[in-house]
Structures are given as C-alpha cells and as structure tokens.
Amino acid sequence: MALNIVAIIPSLNPDEKLLKCVSDLKEQGFDKIIVVNDGSNDETKKYFDKLDTIVLNHEVNLGKGEALKTAFKYYLSNFKNYDGVVTVDSDGQHKGSDAYEVAKYIETNTLVLGVRNFKQKNVPFKSRYGNIITTFIFKILYGKKINDTQTGLRGIPNDFIKKIINLNGSRFEYEINVLKYAVKEKVLIKEVMINTIYIKKNKSSHFKAFKDSFKIYKEMIKR
C-alpha cells in the first residue's frame, strides 16, 4: 500500500537506534520523515547529522510534548497533500512494520494507537503495573478503557492534529491530554496490536518515573 503519511520522531540524546528507526521506516515506504532534536547534548548530535530526513532543532530540552507540537506545526505548514502522521519513538521500541500497520488505519476523526502486550515476560515491572494503574484510573474517570495509555506509536489524521496542537503539556503528560480530548470529542480510538519491545529493560527511556507519573496523574484528574 502506498503511504501518504509522514512519520514523526521526537528524539533526545539518541544513539544508533535512531538511525535504525529511520532506516526501518524508509523500508516500509515512509518517504517523508520529520525528526525533532529536542535539545540533545553535543555528544549525540552526530546521529542527527547522519540522517537524510527533515531535522528540526530545539536549542534546549523542552520535552516530548513540545517536540511533537513543533513537528505538527511544521507538518501542517509544509505537507498539504498528506493525510496525517505517525509518531514513533526513537529508542528502538517501535518497528517500521508496526508503524506501517498503524498508518493503514488513519482516517478522519480517528486516533490510532499502537498497543503493546504488557503480559509478556520481557515487560519491566514498573512498565507493566504503571500501565495497569493508569488504564484503570483513566477508565474510572473517563469511561473508556485504553489498553496502552503511554504508547508513543500513534496514527493521527490531519483534522485531529489541528485540534490537539495547542493542548496543554510539555512532556509525557501531553499524550494523556490527547487521549482525554479524543474521548471528550468522541473521536474513534482504534487500537492496533504491535510488538512489545523493551531493550535493556528500557534504560534508554527519558521517562522520569516519579516526576512524569505525577504530571500524568495530575492531568488525568483535571476534568
């Protein structure tokens, strides 16, 4: 299937996995890729220099939410003939083939989520139970069960990008606010099962367990 979707990769202090991520996406037919360097240190900037993609730069680290918003704004201004975007993490958790599967389901008034299987043995303890708790609280508050509230692999059509581009949240809490908005506005949420990949127990993740979890739960209880 020919893709009319742009891939977006927010990245902070990447390594070789970023290069592999971009290569896999290109193999799957993503001909346009936007990478956001979210204030990475000097030692890791060499990886951005190796990319044959669009690279947008934050001078300092602003957070994943701001990186996504920067990419969304650039996309809306420069890709008038595309149907939407797929957001992909740069730490090796998302395969190009999974991004392709998510992209296939992008359509108007739909948010597509790449959902991991948290019952697998390779899932770190804090990731498994963190998701169980967040899923439970989200369902209690908003009446919707979402099986992977923290997934960074998402398919977003143009109409929905325009609605979420100014939502609150600079870091990971932004992604929760997107889910809240989708439920509130009765946007169809489509879940697509993807590979569950945790490299070295997800040590390369920039998710700060206490600080970011606090912000996420704080945003969830705002109604």
Strand pairing category for 110-115 and 84-87: unpaired
- The secondary structure of residue 44, as a DSSP letter, is G
- Nearest of 41, 155, 66 to residue 108 by alpha carbon: 155
pLDDT for 31 beyond 90: yes
- Nearest of 160, 172, 150 to residue 68 by alpha carbon: 172
What pLDDT, on the 0 to 100 scale, is given for residue 204? 46
When comparing pLDDT for 207 and 116, which is higher? Answer: 116
What does the chain come to in residues?
A: 223
What pLDDT, on the 0 to 100 scale, is given for residue 195? 87
β-bridge partners, 193: 115
Q: Mean pLDDT across the stretch 13-24? A: 96
β-bridge partners, 85: 6, 156
β-bridge partners, 55: 35
Mean model confidence pLDDT for the chain: 90
pLDDT for 119 beyond 80: no
- The secondary structure of residue 163, as a DSSP letter, is H
Q: Are 58 and 69 in contact (CB under 8 A)?
A: no
- The secondary structure of residue 199, as a DSSP letter, is G
46-95 confidence digits (pLDDT tens): 999 999 999 999 999 999 999 999 999 999 999 999 999 999 999 988 99
Strand pairing category for 110-115 and 188-193: parallel
Q: What is the pTM of this model?
A: 0.88
What pLDDT, on the 0 to 100 scale, is given for residue 126? 67
Residue 129 confidence class, pLDDT cut points 50, 70, 90: confident
What pLDDT, on the 0 to 100 scale, is given for residue 15? 95
- Nearest of 27, 177, 29, 207 to residue 103 by alpha carbon: 29
What pLDDT, on the 0 to 100 scale, is given for residue 221? 75
- Nearest of 161, 176, 68 to residue 108 by alpha carbon: 161
